[in-house]
Amino acid sequence: DVQDVSIALVYQQPLDDEGTAEANACLISAAPDLLAACKNLVLSIKKHPDWKMYYCLVVPDGEAAIRKAEGKD
């Protein structure tokens, strides 16, 4: 017996101007490369003999960005 069930509601909203849509597409396209670069940067800093000096400056932000990109935040 089939019932009338809604799975999802989809609303069409006007897109931002064409420049914003293109910028978003470029960012989405670059996301995997940006994530890889961020991971490499954090690892490189941690390998440096004086990495703790840099840790307080950039590593927490990099690690937070990585967690967010991987859906862990």
pLDDT tens string 6-63 = 666 666 666 567 677 788 888 888 899 989 998 998 888 888 888 777 677 778 888 8
Q: Cα angle at 59 between 54 and 62, to 5 degrees?
A: 145
The pLDDT value recorded for residue 36 is 92
3 state SS of 27: helix
The pLDDT value recorded for residue 7 is 65
Determine if residue 71 is left, alpha or beta; phi over 0 gives left, psi from -120 to 50 gives alpha, anything else beta.
left
The pLDDT value recorded for residue 35 is 92
What is the pLDDT averaged over residues 2-6? 64
Give φ, ψ of 10 to 5 degrees: -120, 125
Task: Tell whether the model's pLDDT for residue 65 goes beyond 70.
Answer: yes
The residue type at 24: N
Query: Against a cut of 0.85, is the pTM above it?
Result: no
